[in-house]
Structure 1
Amino acid sequence: MGNTSSMLTQYDIEEVQQHCKNAFTQQEIVSLYQRFCQLDRNNCGFIPSDEFLSIPEFAVNPLSQIIFKVYDTDCNGKVSFDDMLTVLRDLTGQYMSEQQRKEVLAQVLEEAGYTKDSFLVLSDFMKILGNSDLKMEAEVPVD
């Protein structure tokens, strides 16, 4: 996906819907994408976590419930290690090995005080999102 709303195609929208198991309407996806483009001030295709969390509207993480739904891939109200691994797999594709993904996730969970056997409910998830000391950054080349 590009960095302007005009580059968001119907195919892109449907692909996001499929990935999120239709948790979002087409209009919600377009709105979220347009807001992302507004926040991506450097036009680099991502928003660094410190910059994201410095936005006053996000100080209390109002998007955490939306983000939680993306990570809760089996829609059971809990985010498991496997749920997070599924999302990370989709985000990194061939640029990370499965072992690297598992190691990164295990480290992030450990730093947040959880184990790979933990099931995160929304409040746990918000705690991790709000912890500015935790950073899980990886640069992934875009076409």
Structure 2
Amino acid sequence: MGSTSSMLTQYDIEEVQDHCNHAFSQQEIVSLYHRFCQLDRNGGGFVSADEFMSVPEFAVNPLSQRLLRMLDGLNFKEFVAFLSAFSPRTSLQEKIEFIFRVYDTDCNGKVAFDDILSILRDLTGSFMTEQQRQKVLTHVLEEAGYTKNSHFTLPDFMKVRLFLLTLGCYGKLAA
């Protein structure tokens, strides 16, 4: 699968399918390969951050800068694995693991109050004040039995499904 100018073999397609836990059909993988080749403008077999930013939907995403740290320099197999987090065939556990990596802004294997607050800042922009964000997040953490000083590892994050609580509480307080 080295250069993007080569075509995918059946073996390549099956290997990519296995790598992404069958989140995509073989036909979808072929379509993703064509899209990957379009993004890989220099044909080097990797997609850079600048190339990802050429996708308008990605460029306007409030989390695009956070996602870029996960994306820069992906080969095709990694590209498909990244996109598999958005597939309806991906398990809830795998989606939570992906979201944990997005929230873990300093890549230390833990999510802290400031990590979550930073994500909230990106998602809410000027629609909420910093004080409102802190109040919402503090409330969510307290409801889940945690404090501002708590640090969440992946098992903690999965146990409380913090991302769902955050969204649910945000909706309740914003309404």
TM-score of the aligned structures, taking structure 2 as reference length? 0.52
Q: Quick check: 2:111–2:152 contact (8 Å CA) kept in 1? A: yes
Calculate percent identity across the aligned residue pairs.
40
Match for residue 66 of structure 2?
Answer: 19
When Rg is computed on C-alpha atoms for both structures, the one with the higher figure is 2
Give a deviation string over 1:79-99, Cα, whole Å, max 9, x none.
Answer: 000000000000000001100
Amino acid in structure 2 at the alignment position of 1:31: L
Distance 1:29 1:97, change over 3 A: farther
**CA offset digits 1:3-53 (Å, max 9, x no partner):** xxxxx9624435655323521349359835863xxx6xxxxxxxxxxxxxx
Give the one of 131, 151, 156 matched to 1:119: 151
Q: Which residue of 1 aligns with 2:127?
A: 95
Residues in 1 aligned to 2:169 and 2:162: alpha-carbon distance in whole angstroms: 13
Q: CA deviation at 1:116?
A: 0.5
State the structure with bigger RCO (CA 8 A, min sep 6), 1 or 2. 1
Q: Partner letter of residue 55 of structure 2?
A: Q
Count of residues paired in the alignment: 112
Normalization by structure 1: what TM-score? 0.62
Q: 1:32 to 1:17 in 2, by over 3 A?
A: farther
Q: Give distance in 2, aligned partners of 1:132 and 1:17.
A: 20
Counterparts of 2:84 and 2:103 in 1: how far apart (Å)?
16
Q: Deviations over 1:62-103 (max 9, x none)?
A: 211111000001111110000000000000000011001001
Runs of 4+ in 1 over 4 A off after TM superposition: 14-17, 130-134
Amino acid at match of 1:138: G
Q: Runs of 5+ in structure 1 lacking a partner?
A: 1-7, 40-54
The Cα RMSD (Å) is 3.6
Matching of residue 73 in structure 1 with residue 105 in structure 2:
yes
